[in-house]
């Protein structure tokens, strides 16, 4: 990567986001769902990667249906993509209907109350789009069994909703053998047979790899677009999107054994060489990585030592050649040697959390084929 130029000189760490890879990932998932439609989940600022950069790239790739969690995320996305279908997953919070109308947002309807409020407005117009969310095994959002039964018995409640959709969300899609997947599939199938007027939306990223029985009219992948492996134990079929490099701020020779970092949690042995790098937990480099992280210098693995501080981490770089043991040298923290899923595993978490924690202090570089 290029690290010259004034912005690069003052930066302590570099986050590179490959927009072409995001587009390629969407096209790959679209290929899995065709002829059905592949949407894109861009909640939480496109999983931390910057919705103002990511959404136009997905639109240009052919994506027309987008999902966000919060209403304000929908409002922001409407400014970026005036023509897109935008669905707000958190539902129709009481009092917010005028905001949905003003910004042409589609609510997910998570209860009979939300359905009745939105359908009433729809009947006063020429119909309003809405996605009915049925809970089939997560106990999180959506109509429970009793509410779904009432809806099936009284389908007139849907009058005014046009087009009307039916969605559910998988709890265990990343565990292909988990029995909940099949139970949710059966429950969703019975609902869609009972409400045949509805378009359907079922699979998230991992759901798209569970088999044809999990397809629907509109799929809702998120994390796989951004490079996280949706296939659990198998080789990651997605292209990597994110690279993170931290800059060495200071190099220290250890002449006699010395404690390192907060809590003196590590003692550096005599003869070791330490490098302090400008990345910390305030940048989303999780403190849980203390004692567990590694970095890479020119492809060589170097262990992080001591605890993660707010602004810095310390690596033992004794083993790397002298020419790399210098201020300004970059250490790869996420990249070809350590993909998102690998660092997530070391932190005891999932790629989702690494992505959505990526800090605001990084020098962000958005890469496309036109701008290497
Ligand atoms: C976040 C979310 C998704 C996307 O899930 P991924 O696992 O990131 O693909 C889809 N549907 C709902 C309801 C969600 O909350």
Q: Alpha carbon of 274 to those of 107, 279, 283, 321: distances in Å?
A: 53, 15, 21, 13
Q: What is the pLDDT of residue 3?
A: 57
Taking only the tens of pLDDT, the chain with its 372 residues reads 555 677 788 999 999 999 999 999 999 999 999 999 999 999 999 999 999 999 999 999 999 999 999 999 999 999 999 999 999 999 999 999 999 999 999 999 999 999 999 999 999 999 999 999 999 999 999 999 999 999 999 999 999 999 999 999 999 999 999 999 999 999 999 999 999 999 999 999 999 999 999 999 999 999 999 999 999 889 999 999 999 999 999 999 999 999 999 999 999 999 999 999 999 999 999 999 999 999 999 999 999 999 999 999 999 999 999 999 999 999 999 999 999 999 999 999 999 999 999 999 999 999 997 554
Catalytic residues: 43, 262
- Closest by CA to 319, choosing from 279, 271, 250, is 271
Indicate whether residue 220 lines ligand 1 (CB < 6 A).
yes
Indicate whether residue 219 lines ligand 1 (CB < 6 A).
no
Q: What's the gap in Å between 169 CA and the centre of ligand 1?
A: 7
Q: Alpha carbon of 195 to those of 89, 112, 164, 192, 359: distances in Å?
A: 20, 15, 10, 5, 44
Q: What's the gap in Å between 43 CA and the centre of ligand 1?
A: 9
Q: What is the pLDDT of residue 179?
A: 97
Indicate whether residue 222 lines ligand 1 (CB < 6 A).
yes
For ligand 1, atom 4: residue with the closest CA:
222
Q: What is the pLDDT of residue 199?
A: 97
**CB neighbours of 351 closer than 8 A, spacing ≥ 6?**
223, 227, 228, 229, 340, 341, 344
Q: Alpha carbon of 90 to those of 43, 140, 208: distances in Å?
A: 11, 10, 22
How many Å separate Cα 252 from the centre of its chain?
Answer: 37
Indicate whether residue 218 lines ligand 1 (CB < 6 A).
no
Our mutation pick for probing the ligand 1 site, out of 67, 350, 352, counting the most ligand atoms within 8 A of Cβ, is 67
Our mutation pick for probing the ligand 1 site, out of 201, 204, 216, counting the most ligand atoms within 8 A of Cβ, is 204
| Ligand 1 atom at shortest distance from the alpha carbon of 133 | 13
Q: What's the gap in Å between 175 CA and the centre of ligand 1?
A: 15
Indicate whether residue 223 lines ligand 1 (CB < 6 A).
yes
Could you count the other beta carbons within 10 Å of the beta carbon of residue 258?
15
Q: What is the pLDDT of residue 226?
A: 98
Could you count the other beta carbons within 10 Å of the beta carbon of residue 271?
11
Indicate whether residue 89 lines ligand 1 (CB < 6 A).
yes
For ligand 1, atom 6: residue with the closest CA:
222
Indicate whether residue 133 lines ligand 1 (CB < 6 A).
no
């Amino acid at each position: 990567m290029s690290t010259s130029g004034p912005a690069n000189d003052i930066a302590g760490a570099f986050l590179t986001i490959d927009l072409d890879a995001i587009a390629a990932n969407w096209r790959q998932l679209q290929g899995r769902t065709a002829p059905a439609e592949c949407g894109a989940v861009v909640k939480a600022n496109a999983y931390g990667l910057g919705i103002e950069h990511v959404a136009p790239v997905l639109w240009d790739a052919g994506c027309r249906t987008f999902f966000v969690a919060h209403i304000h995320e929908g409002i922001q996305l409407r400014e970026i993509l005036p023509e897109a279908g935008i669905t707000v997953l958190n539902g129709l919070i009481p009092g917010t209907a005028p905001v949905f109308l003003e910004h042409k947002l589609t609510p997910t309807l998570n209860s009979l109350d939300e359905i009745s409020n939105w359908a009433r407005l729809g009947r006063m117009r020429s119909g309003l789009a809405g996605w009915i969310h049925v809970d089939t095994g997560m106990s999180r959002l959506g109509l429970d069994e009793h509410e779904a039964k009432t809806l099936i018995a009284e389908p007139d409640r849907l009058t005014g909703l046009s087009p009307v959709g039916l969605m559910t969300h998988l709890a265990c899609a990343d565990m292909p053998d988990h029995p909940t997947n099949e139970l949710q599939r059966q429950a969703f199938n019975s609902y869609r047979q009972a409400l045949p007027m509805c378009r359907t939306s079922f699979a998230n990223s991992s759901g798209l790899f569970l088999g044809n029985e999990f397809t629907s009219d509109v799929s809702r992948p998120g994390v796989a677009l951004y490079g996280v492996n949706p296939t659990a134990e198998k080789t990651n079929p997605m292209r990597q999107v994110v690279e993170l490099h931290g800059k060495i701020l200071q190099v220290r020779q250890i002449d006699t054994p010395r404690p390192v970092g907060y809590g003196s949690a590590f003692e550096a042995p005599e003869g070791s060489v330490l490098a302090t790098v400008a990345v910390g937990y305030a940048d989303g480099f999780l403190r849980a990585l203390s004692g567990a992280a590694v970095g890479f210098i020119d492809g060589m693995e170097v262990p992080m030592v001591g605890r993660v501080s707010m602004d810095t981490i310390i690596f033992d770089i004794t083993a790397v050649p002298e020419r790399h043991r210098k201020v300004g040298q970059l250490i790869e923290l996420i990249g070809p040697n350590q993909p998102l899923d690998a660092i997530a595993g070391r932190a005891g978490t999932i790629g989702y959390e690494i992505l959505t924690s990526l800090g605001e202090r990084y020098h962000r570089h958005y890469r496309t084929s036109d701008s290497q």
